[in-house]
Amino acid sequence: MNTYDILEERNKRALKGGGEKAVAKQKVAGKHTARERIDILLDDNTFVETDRFVLHDCHSYGMENKRYDGDGVVTGYGKIDGRLVYVYAYDFTVNGGSLGKANASKIVKLQKMALKTGAPIIALNDSGGARIQEGVNALSGYSEIFYQNVKASGVIPQISAIMGPCAGGACYSPALTDFILMVNETSYMFVTGPDVVKTVTHEELTKAELGGANTHSARSGVAHLVGRDEEETLMMIRELLSFIPSNNMEDGVITSSYDSGPRECPKLMSLIPENPNIPYDMKELIEEVVDEHYFFEIMGNFAQNILIGFARIGGRPVGIVANQPQYLAGVLDIDASDKAARFIRFCDCFDIPIVTFEDVPGFLPGQQQEHGGIIRHGAKIMYAYAEATVPKITLITRKAYGGAYIVMSSKETGCDVNLAYPNAEIAVMGADGAVNILYRKAAETDRAEAKKEYESLFSNPYRAAEKGYIDGIILPKDTRTAIMQALDMTQNKAETNPPKKHGNMPL
């Protein structure tokens, strides 16, 4: 056999992964192979594989008889919408996709190259975790991956898709990346699996209950997006990347479409009820304002009292943060603060303008919130907004009360353009609450009169506008035009924070 034939044979062997039986088992579980996932994710015929012939050198517990080309991780680079990306996919058909020193080195090499060339890196996780047979060598491999995750944070986008099990140390690399996607019913994440939990705490839980896609998207907040199947999940990655620059030194991709110019939004003139206690759907307002009425929501099932996601306004990608009056009246609580703060910081990392739609009655009161650290968690959103140097536009659509008004990108905390609707209420608190404090011992008629006086003085945007805290009061139908004008004006904004190693964000 000549050298060319040897190469062809090795290539064929590598492409088989763990063999026909292992691949068949993967298919029965409703999952694609590592290479199939990469082919679905990337533009056609753009994937270039690296380190295809890497082998482990472990000889413990019979591992010398389980050596496969590539060692259970497929690594390489390709393109998404013509843009360079790096990708690595754990191959569950090879030793359960377990991580050892050799395949960890493949991943680390790819991470370093992504950082050098300024391109996003995508991890497709389907792994049983650290390779037990390698002991501390496997742990060393994970440590190197985590270290590179941290080095790349804020420099290049890092995206993790959980395509199967993700247990133990395998969870922490995804947790260090910018976005985590999961597949409904076939992907799981947990530091300790159901068997260990049962032994230690005597709780009996299924994999789905402990760490399934629904659990992490709705309860823990670990997962940002969930796909119905693997194809949809991989398409979500492509769409997500369309809003994000390739690195922190590049500008976002500006696109033009039939709906990238100014237009009125007459529907908004009647969207917000006259009664301030009646909810409305903030998503309708956002979708009316953004290009093609399309809002790519992130973490839609978690902390639903606040909305985050990407959209385009005038062809320019923007990050959207908005209170949702339809859920808990749009109050800020522990989970909402964490959700918004991390998204704000991501947008700031990659120079994506932040547009805030504000309708917030305050922070959620109660023992559970106070004992859970709402002071500390609420400070995160304040810190994130104040730290951000990207263009920041805020529109107050209705309520803006107290400390919640301050933290939701107010003028005094560094917002560039602050707008309000004529019905906006900017005050320390609502009229009922204020009167209950100021006139708690007064007669009912006097309290009613005091309420009217308070509403006249404070339950409007004009006092704030007179002091310069609000730059403009606009009609709802002019919302899109006003925000586009603000984005155009601030597109060359240059601001830096004082020189320092890094701030000490409340965590």
215-221: long-range contacts at Cβ-Cβ below 8 A with a sequence spacing of 24 or more? 216/180, 216/182, 216/189, 217/182, 217/299, 217/301, 217/302, 218/301, 218/302, 219/302, 220/302, 221/299, 221/302, 221/303, 221/335, 221/338, 221/339
Helices (H) and strands (E) in the chain, counts: 19, 16
For residue 22, the one-letter residue type is A
In the numeric block, which tokens belong to residue 375?
């002071």
Among 243, 223, 220, 248, residue whose Cα is nearest residue 233: 223
- Report the chain's C-alpha Rg in angstroms: 26
- The residues facing 363 across adjacent strands are 332
Q: Which position among 128, 129, 168, 309 bears the catalytic label? A: 168
What are 176's two structure tokens? 């260090």
What is the residue type of 228?
R
Which of these is catalytic: 123, 130, 388, 404? 404
Sequential DSSP letters for 342-402: HHHHHHHHTT--EEEEEEE--BPPSHHHHHHTHHHHHHHHHHHHHH--S-EEEEEEEEEEH
- Give catalytic status of residue 167 as yes or no: no
Count CA atoms closer than 13 A to 296's CA, side-chain side: 20
Grouping H, G, I as helix, E, B as strand and the rest as coil, residue 190 is strand
402: annotated active-site residue: no
Q: Is 169 a catalytic residue?
A: yes
* Type of residue numbered 69: D
Phi and psi, residue 412, nearest 5°: -70, -20
Q: Please answer whether residues 271 and 284 qualify as being in contact, where contact means their C-beta atoms are separated by less than 8 angstroms.
A: yes
Cα 110 from Cα 477, distance rounded (Å): 49
User: Which of 238, 291, 225 is CA-nearest to residue 263?
Assistant: 291
Report the alpha-carbon angle 97-188-216, nearest 5.
145
Residue 403 near residue 378, CB atoms below 8 Å: yes
- The DSSP call for residue 219 is I
Alpha helices in 154-229 (DSSP H): 172-176, 194-201, 207-211, 213-215
Q: How many residues does the chain have?
A: 507
Catalytic residue among 70, 78, 129, 169: 169
Active site residue: 315, 372, 402, 403, which one? 403
Distance CA 276, CA 400 (A): 12
Do residues 61 and 93 touch, judged by C-beta distance below 8 A? no
466-498 residues labelled b (16+ CB within 10 A) or e (exposed): eeebbbebbebbbbbbbbbbbbeebeeeeeeee
Query: CA–CA separation, 311 vs 331, rounded Å?
Result: 23
Our answer to whether residue 403 is catalytic in this structure is: yes
Which residues does residue 419 pair with via DSSP β-bridges, in sequence order? 395, 472
List the beta bridge partners of residue 425.
Answer: 399
What residues act catalytically? 168-169, 403-404
